Amino acid sequence: MALTILSGGQTGVDRAALDAALENGIPAGGWCPQGRLAEDGRIPEHYPLRELPGAGYLQRTEQNVIDSDATLIVHFGRLQGGTARTQEFCHTHDKPLLLIDGSYVAECEAVRMLREFILGNKITLLNVAGPRASGEAGAYAYTFALLSLLLKDHGLSA
């Protein structure tokens, strides 16, 4: 099954998703705010993101939900800020959503859950969202490990 990873390019979960996809040779993309804004400055050009004209963080978040088949939210405890809004956008646009709480779900179990979600919903465009690095220090490492394990070990890469 061909899978494409979409993300908004923010630090933390978003960048981990893009890095895992790119490292495993699968398509990646998504919308980012105008100016390629992120908490650490401009999103590097090697990330294959398109700027959404006139958009900030919430507009690009909603557009990535709309353009995907489903969304994975990796979180750590209670959903907050843009991560909580992502969940709302999924409900508003009637899109499948998988929530994985990295504070208590082991990576191997998360891989199983995500694989079943992807195959069960016939997902080819997966939006990945969650907290930025400043909100959760372990967000990048957990998400990168989860997606790398999924893509390497379960035949979901190109």
Q: Per the structure, how many domains does the chain have?
A: 1
Radius of gyration of the chain (CA): 14
Quick check: 131 and 15 in contact, CB under 8 A? no
Quick check: 32 and 8 in contact, CB under 8 A? yes
Cα separation, 30 vs 38, whole angstroms: 14
Q: Where are the alpha helices (DSSP H) in the chain?
A: 13-23, 57-67, 81-92, 107-120, 139-153
| CATH number of the domain within which 34 lies | 3.40.50.450
Residues constituting the chain: 158
pLDDT for residue 134: 95
Which residues in the chain show pLDDT less than 70? 1, 153-158
As a whole number, the mean pLDDT across the chain is 95
pLDDT for residue 152: 84
Q: What is the pTM of this model?
A: 0.96
Please give the residue range of the domain that contains residue 22: 4-153
